[in-house]
Structure 1
Amino acid sequence: MNFEKYPFEKLNELLADITPNENYALSALTIGEPKFETPKFIQDELQNSTALLQKYPASAGEPELKQSMINFIKTRFGVELNMSQLIPTFGTREVLFNFPQFVLFDKQNPVMAYTNPFYQIYEGAAIASRAEVIHIDLVKENDFKASLSDEELKRCDLVILNYPNNPTSAEMTKSELGEWVKKALEFDFILVNDECYSEIYFDEKDKPASLLEASIEVGNNEFKNVIVMNSISKRSSAPGLRCGIIAGDENILKEYMKYRTYVGCASPVPLQKAATVAWNDEAHVEGFRKIYRKNFELAREILGIEPPKATFYIWLEVGDELEFTKNLFKEKHIKVLPGSFLGRNGIGKGYVRIALVENETKTKEVLQRLKDFIDGK
């Protein structure tokens, strides 16, 4: 298999020969990893569950973990699932990589489409599946919203959307997602939405919709051909728990569950216990949302940008993104991620991705430093 280098490896190579301005401490705005302590009640549950390390974890997940995920989806999206419509996963990275391989295995000439720019696991999964790729290009002219022609959709076996979107921060409405559900039924392809940023939003009236909601709205109450994935990593500032969800079409998930018993990626029981209390609590999530909301208020004040409705990313248009990245590192000791490292066929060129994942004090300082650079100071 010939995998592309990961974006962060490309960034290290780009900056390798540059000596940064040591008058500033390094500020890395590159990776989508929250820099806040995992809430104590989650840590306490993990510590109190270490005796359960003596048990092999079940591939299907502990019943109480599954129930906490079902509770979360009902409370957050108003969608009631049964146990056969959901599987806990070891984060979403592993499932985004192996689920396409599972569903495309029996296809003679598989075709997979996904949003571009993208989380690189999508591309890796396509390579591992020997799939032909159709890129769903997200550009300013289409408001970074996914669209393909019927002729392209007729060829697809699997489509991966990602809304709220990484890296562009774009959203699709429930009705827009519903149109995608209709197409998945009309042309009989599997439709996935990677929803791991669904809980990083800033206004209750603009909460991101789930593909599950959209499926019900268009009358697909059994979620035929519809799959969503979500994660605790961003929601609870707990990426180390490696706890994700795959939910939707129970006929697909029944067979996928058989596959997972061979993969061997079950989460250790203490991690499941800690994740259970995290999924069942909303107060700590609102606390994190307040921090991100303040960070984007600072970005509006300092950079003059319009904050997104969701995610913690700024998709900043800068011209030559490679030169911008190199010079910003050299002059201000700030790392950002060139958009061209996240896209293919020229998509992402001219942009950088900035992750606002620090506290208010650090965010204000680094945004002012970034503004000074842009202004030539």
Structure 2
Amino acid sequence: MLNPRFQQLPAHTWTQLRALLDKVPAGRNAPLDLTIGEPRHPMPAFINEVLEANSVGYAKYPPIQGTPAWQQAVAGWLERRYGLPAMDPDQHVLPVSGTREGLFNVAFIAIPDSKSGQRPLVLMPNPFYQCYAAAALAAGAEPFYVPATASTGFLPDFAGLDPAVLARTALIYLCTPANPQGTVADQAYFDSVIGLCRAHDITLVVDECYGEIYPDAPPVGALEACLSMARRGLGDPADPYANVLSFQSLSKRSNVPGLRSGFVAGDPRLIAAYRELRSYAGAPSPLPVYAAAAAAWSDEAHVEENRVLYRAKFDAAERILEGRFGAYRPGGGFYLWLDVGDGEAACRDLWGKAGVRVLPGAYLARPDASGYNPGAAYIRVALVNSLEVTELALHSIRDTLEGGTP
């Protein structure tokens, strides 16, 4: 018998995309895939070297909490990147096998059976990363989709919700830089949502997996924002990270999505509960992966080189699209969020005429009560390929959608 909770989920994003395009012959170019957010820049050479040097570690069970070298590397990076002093890895940090696993499983420790005597709600931006809704349903909660549209600056207005909704809310998912729009939450936004969560006893889960890909200034981090609030008297200096968890990953930062290595950091009470859950159900990273991850968190040169490559592709996008389809340079991440009027129709045209595969924005969102889907007019374009492939694809997108020859 199937769990009826999951019948509330539509077909997954990639299932929908295959149904839309698989019977449509590809157009004139060799297939150019700009759908999935899978980094395709070169993996740092030292990753393989460290994995091979530590290969004997595959013969041992790895620790749930990470190795001392991994813990020190992560704590050091948090201090360098966000100015977080004296992060105790045993209290504040825990490895996860990629952020998707972590973001899904955190729901089981943060969502009670009921909130205010009712089924709990989990708030998330709309559009959103599909894992959030599945996690909410798996943990027995009800997903609640909060518009993140141009009218709200592509960030959800959690503070504007009905107090009755907030009273039922157990967990809020927030992605910054946002997937798909690339919007970055600033300190004032964090002040609002963190204060809201503490006032209503809500866990704030911040997905920051795109936080190391940015054009100029590094985005404010969730835990950095917590520390700033505590220093300004807006939080307890003895417990600055209360109610907040930040998820970080090497996938985008270091071009190693297959390494499946990230971490969660923040509220020590939540970290302790999460560690206990992972002791039962988690799959800790092998020792060689911990070693490679420690090396990656300790090195910034490859990350700076990575950002240079992405900047060049966004420069190309600005030059080729020239503001067409509402194109803008995002504050972070590697997506374009283009308003093409009808995302599904545009996807079919781009694939059938030009051999360019992109993602309809509707597949990343849910319709509201009136039937309006905030992603329906958009396509998401992942600038993860080489500059040459990206430029070819962007020319094809512009020419095809304007009715010319790709």
TM-score range, shorter chain: over 0.9
Instruction: From 38, 53, 58, give the equivalent of 1:53.
Output: 58
Paired position in structure 2 for 1:318: 340
Contact 2:124 2:146 in 1 (8 A): yes
- The residue type equivalent to 1:114 in the other structure is M
Residue 59 of structure 1 deviates from its aligned partner by: 1.1
Instruction: From 208, 214, 220, give the equivalent of 1:209.
Output: 220
- Give deviations 1:78-111, integer Å, cap 9, x for gaps: 1121111010111111111111022214446222
SS at structure 2 position matched to 1:358? coil
Instruction: From 121, 124, 129, give the equivalent of 2:131.
Output: 121
Residue 375 of structure 1 deviates from its aligned partner by: 2.2
Q: Normalising by structure 1, report the TM-score.
A: 0.96
The farther-off stretch of 129-138 and 286-295 is 129-138
Q: Is 1:182 matched with 2:190? A: no
The farther-off stretch of 99-108 and 262-271 is 99-108
- The residue type equivalent to 1:314 in the other structure is L
Paired position in structure 2 for 1:276: 294
Contact 2:346 2:401 in 1 (8 A): no
Supply the distance in 2 between the matched residues of 1:68 and 1:159 (Cα, whole angstroms). 28
RMSD across aligned positions (CA): 1.2
- The residue type equivalent to 1:245 in the other structure is F
Paired position in structure 2 for 1:159: 172
Instruction: From 69, 72, 77, give the equivalent of 1:67.
Output: 72
Aligned residues: 374
Residue 362 of structure 1 deviates from its aligned partner by: 1.3
Paired position in structure 2 for 1:15: 21
Residue 168 of structure 1 deviates from its aligned partner by: 1.0
- Give deviations 1:156-192, integer Å, cap 9, x for gaps: 1111111110011111102211211111111111111
- The residue type equivalent to 2:45 in the other structure is K
Q: Normalising by structure 2, report the TM-score.
A: 0.90
SS at structure 2 position matched to 1:65? helix
Paired position in structure 2 for 1:360: 387
Supply the distance in 1 between the matched residues of 2:228 and 2:168 (Cα, whole angstroms). 26
SS at structure 2 position matched to 1:160? strand
Instruction: From 312, 330, 345, give the equivalent of 2:352.
Output: 330
Contact 1:110 1:132 in 2 (8 A): yes
Paired position in structure 1 for 2:370: none
Percent identity at matched positions? Answer: 35
Residue 155 of structure 1 deviates from its aligned partner by: 2.1
Unaligned runs of 5+ in 1: none
Q: How does 1:17-32 map to 2 (within 5 A)?
A: 17-21=23-27, 23-32=28-37
Following superposition, which runs of at least 4 residues in structure 1 exceed 4 angstroms of deviation?
none
Residue 4 of structure 1 deviates from its aligned partner by: 3.1
Supply the distance in 2 between the matched residues of 1:123 and 1:4 (Cα, whole angstroms). 11
- Give deviations 1:221-279, integer Å, cap 9, x for gaps: 42111111010000000111111111100011112211110013111111111111001
Contact 1:178 1:217 in 2 (8 A): no
Contact 1:182 1:218 in 2 (8 A): no
Q: Is 1:295 matched with 2:316? A: no
Paired position in structure 2 for 1:6: 12
- The residue type equivalent to 1:9 in the other structure is T
Residue 363 of structure 1 deviates from its aligned partner by: 1.1
